[in-house]
């Protein structure tokens, strides 16, 4: 049975997978859109949307929580609290959009672009 397989592992160990999500989240927050594989975009979406939900209220506790999730990345934290948090303050959820772009020619992986609404 295929139960409890919601988390995608991408053939990586836990530490490498966490580093991958941090890196993708950092790039998405700073550039506001990135192109990656569809599977990575689908697993990045809840990670980033929870960060934005926390960034809507600016407090020391929220800054520490987001700092722990992003690895104390000051540029991404500043953008989250200064621009993205206030931009989505009245929105209840659904801050990101995933659009399929095409197929990667090397291995046939489905590429997708993920960006903020």
By C-alpha distance, which of 74, 70, 84 is closest to 23?
70
Is residue 58 in some structural domain? yes
pLDDT tens-digit readout, 18-65? 999 999 999 999 999 999 999 999 999 999 999 999 999 999 999 999
How many domains are there within the chain?
1
Domain range for 70: 33-116
Is residue 41 in some structural domain? yes
Is residue 22 in some structural domain? no
pLDDT for res 7: 82
By C-alpha distance, which of 72, 70, 89, 62 is closest to 27?
70
Is residue 25 in some structural domain? no
Percentage of the chain exceeding pLDDT 70: 99
Is residue 38 in some structural domain? yes
When pLDDT is averaged across residues 80-96 and rounded to a whole number, the result is 96
Is residue 100 in some structural domain? yes
Residue 69, phi then psi, degrees to nearest 5: -70, -35
Is residue 40 in some structural domain? yes
pLDDT for res 5: 72
Specify the CATH number for the domain of residue 63: 3.90.1030.10
């Amino acid at each position: 049975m295929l139960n409890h397989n919601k988390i995608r592992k991408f053939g990586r160990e836990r530490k490498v997978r966490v580093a991958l999500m941090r890196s993708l989240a950092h790039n998405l927050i700073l550039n506001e859109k990135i192109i990656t594989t569809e599977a990575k975009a689908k697993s990045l979406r809840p990670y980033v949307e929870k960060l934005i939900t926390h960034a809507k209220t600016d407090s020391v506790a929220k800054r520490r929580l987001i700092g722990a999730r992003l690895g104390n990345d000051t540029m991404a934290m500043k953008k989250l609290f200064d621009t993205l948090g206030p931009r989505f303050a009245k929105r209840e959820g659904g801050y990101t959009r995933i659009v399929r772009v095409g197929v990667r020619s090397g291995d046939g992986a489905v590429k997708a672009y993920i960006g903020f609404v």
